[in-house]
A and B are shown apart, each in its own frame.
Chain A
Amino acid sequence: MTPEEEAEFLRRRKSRNIALGLILLGFVVLFYMITIVRISD
């Protein structure tokens, strides 16, 4: 892998990790809210 390809590799991996982190955070919030709604039922 050339330095440019490696930089591109790291950039892609980072953007994917950020996207995945945000999705996981969203699911944590969603499950918290679902739990609150279900408990209050």
Chain B
Amino acid sequence: MMTQANAPLATQMPAEWRDFFALTKPRVMSLVVFTGLCGLLAAPGSIHPVIGFTAILCIALGAGGAAALNQWWEADIDAEMKRTAARPLPQGRMRREDARDFGLFLSGVSVVVMGLAVNWLAALILAGSIVYYAVIYTIWLKPRTPQNIVIGGGAGAFPPLIGWVAVTGDITLMPVLLFAIIFIWTPPHFWALALFVQTDYARVGIPMMPVVAGEKSTRRQIFGYSIALLAISLAPWAIGGTGAIYGIAALVLSVAFLFLAVPVAFRTAGADDRMAPEKRLFAYSVFYLFTLFAALVADRLILA
């Protein structure tokens, strides 16, 4: 909640450029840029480096704009949670409407530049991803359903699809499968974290799965998604969209994912539990996504 005490400071002092930069969630943006770049590099065909750079820049700007809109909307909630209380808006370092305008401006610029410089289908999907994250996820579904992480995973899944479409100009099964991989990967990745990090989501009324459905159910669902991830990660190879480099990497990585998910799925944490299996699965899930997409690009660059 933006308190009355710090509101005057925000209205008197102009926010620093660092605060605007922080609004874009730079750490999330780095993953967005990486997966977007992988989609762009793995797509069949070629793109001029300047146009390719512009496409990635627009994906990053769009993600930054959506993140700013997310923080504008959730400023009250962010102020109540330890993890987010230091953000520019809860700290009163910036006026709330400045964050909104900045988010709208970044979103608009990213879509228009993508359309003019790259292609309009990529721009349309980018616009859709921004609306999906800022409106459908942040405003509508996050406070209403424990499936919020499943739905939110869709927002993170757009970049490789957009990167791919920037090159090809059309949507085929392959980029949709890349979307599906990140979509299915997100719930076990996030819920593994949610099991060992005590967040204050419950206190601010955000229905996270471990709180609403309970720890046992969350653990079972992590296992279910891990099986689905094994299947979906192999699909690009199965349909002939990639070669053996990706196929073998996907098989090894996803079997290891499942292997690490088993102890998480079928145990009950006791008091003073160090949650080692959950921490291991979370750390591995980050490595998994980076390596899987790197293998996809390597497959294309070496075997194509």
Contacts and interface: CB of A to CB of B under 8 A. Distances in A.
Give the interface residue-count category, chain B: 10 to 19
Contacts of B48: 37
A33 to B, nearest CB: 5
B117 interface: yes
B50 A33 contact: yes
Contacts of B57: 30
Interface stretch (B14-22, B183-191, B199-207): B14-22
B238 interface: no
A23 B97 CA distance: 21
Interface in A16-41: 16, 19-20, 30, 33-34, 37-38
A34 B51 CA distance: 7
A16 B17 contact: yes
A30 B15 CA distance: 27
Given A34-B54, A34-B117, A15 B17 contact: yes
Interface residues of A, number: 15
B13 interface: yes
A16 to B, nearest CB: 5
Contacts of B116: 34
Contacts of B17: 15-16, 19-20
Interface of A: 1, 5, 8-9, 12-13, 15-16, 19-20, 30, 33-34, 37-38
Interface of B: 12-17, 48, 50-51, 54, 57, 116-117
30 contacts: A1-B12, A5-B12, A5-B13, A8-B13, A9-B12, A9-B13, A9-B14, A12-B13, A12-B14, A12-B15, A12-B16, A13-B14, A15-B16, A15-B17, A16-B15, A16-B16, A16-B17, A19-B17, A20-B17, A30-B50, A30-B54, A30-B57, A33-B50, A34-B51, A34-B54, A34-B117, A37-B48, A37-B50, A37-B51, A38-B117
